[in-house]
Every structure is written in structure tokens, then in C-alpha cells.
Amino acid sequence: MPESNIHRGDDELGGCQEHSYYHNVFGMLMARSTFEGMKLANENKRPFVLTRAGFIGSQKYAATWTGDNVSNWEHLHMSISMVLQLGLSGQPFSGPDIGGFVGNATPKLFGRWMGVGAMFPFCRGHSEKASFDHEPWSFGDECEEVCRRALKRRYRLIPHLYTLFYDAHIMGTPVMTPTFFADPTNPSLRTIENSFLLGPLLVYARFCSLYFQINH
């Protein structure tokens, strides 16, 4: 849609504005209407809504995935920065399509991506219809075992992750934070793109292996 397209929005939303003003607001309002509709349908259940588009306030209504990524090492590396930036922008519940949405992952790429992705706030494998099967068991026994260990690690950390989500709800702290949160006075930590924190837990991804340690 052209940026010059005019939307005649309600006064409370901003009134008559160009498309660029409303582009992401539309995604947020779709998530909000879905959330509220699910609540009306069953007040006894908590809705889970997942969106690819959003705006300020979207985190109240939906989790976010980072969009149609590609099955390559560059997009695996980029996924860490994207989730960190979403967290700093107010969306604590986010994650990429593990293994990549477009194209075909290799067993090594998929296993490494699952190792990192299992530590993201939102953890999901997802791929386009035209790609090869992207289930862990589709890549052979070795990759399946790597994915099994990664997911078991996530399940062991579920109480810890729930605590981080509670903190995000109460204080606004991202679930997954940049490494410089460990020492904001150290400028060198602000250039690191292959590690992150889950509370006191440091996750360091070398993309040839994955390391975990408690940061004291």
C-alpha cells in the first residue's frame, strides 16, 4: 500500500492520517480484537494470540514471532539481535521460526538453531509448505537427539522462565536481555551479538556449539 494512502481513522486513534501512521497500529488492533474476542468466547481460559505485526501496547494482547526468515546461518545469527531488540522495545514474548521459514535447513543448521531457539522466550519450529519437513526427526538420529536435549533443557528451565515472565509483567524487564545488562558500565559488552542473559543465566552461542553458565 502506498505510504501516501489516506486512512480516515477514529479521532481517538489519530484521525485522518497517511498509511505510514496506521500501518503497524492495524496489526496491534487485529491482535487486540482477537484477544478480546477469545475472552468473550470463554472467560475461563486465558487467550494465546501470536502476531507478526504490532505497535506499542501489542505485548498486552499477543506474543510475536519475527516473521518469514530464511534457513541460513545469517538469519540464525540475526535472530538473537531481533529478539533482544523486541524485548527492549517492550515485547518480552518473542522468537523466530526455528530452522527458518523459507528454504531448507541442513541437519547441522537445524540442530544449532534449536539449541539457541530453545532458550528464546517464544520457542517454535515453523516452515513454509514448499520446504522440506522441519521436524527434529526429519534430519536424522543425531539431529533428533540434539533437539531432544535442547528441549529437555528448556523444560528444566520452565520455572526460571516463568519467573522472568512474571518480572517482565511487574517491572517491564525483558525476559531475554542483552549481555551488557550484566555490567552497563562496560562498553565492550554492547557490541556482543552472540550471547544473551536469562536473568542470571548467560547463554553464549558460538554457532558451532552452545554454552551455558551462571553469571554471578
Give the integer Cα–Cα distance in Å for 70 and 99: 8
Ranges of each domain in the chain: 1-65, 68-214
Q: Indicate the pLDDT class of residue 216, thresholds 50, 70 and 90.
A: very low
- Helix, strand or coil for residue 195? strand
Over residues 47-76, the mean pLDDT reads: 94
| Nearest alpha-carbon partner for 139 in 191, 195, 96, 100 | 100
The three-state DSSP-derived secondary structure of 131-157 is CCCCCHHHHCHHHHHHHHHHHHHHHHC
Q: What is the pLDDT of residues 135-165, one digit of tens each?
A: 999 999 999 999 999 999 999 999 999 999 9
The pLDDT assigned to 207 comes to 63
- b (16+ CB within 10 A) / e for 90-102: bbbbbbbbbbbbe
Amino acid at 16: C
The pLDDT assigned to 209 comes to 46
Give the integer Cα–Cα distance in Å for 141 and 12: 56
Residue 214 grid cell: 551462571
Q: Which fold has domain 68-214?
A: TIM Barrel (3.20.20)
Mean pLDDT over each residue of the chain, to the nearest integer: 92
Amino acid at 118: A
Amino acid at 13: L
How many Cα atoms sit within 13 Å of 153 on the Cβ side?
19
The pLDDT assigned to 12 comes to 86
Q: What is the pLDDT of residues 109-131, one digit of tens each?
A: 999 999 999 999 999 999 999 99
The pLDDT assigned to 56 comes to 86
Confidence check: pLDDT of 212 > 60? no
The pLDDT assigned to 215 comes to 47
Query: Are β-strands 63-65 and 50-51 bridged in parallel, bridged antiparallel, or unpaired?
Result: parallel
Q: Indicate the pLDDT class of residue 96, thresholds 50, 70 and 90.
A: very high
Q: Is the pTM of this model over 0.85?
A: yes
Confidence check: pLDDT of 183 > 80? yes
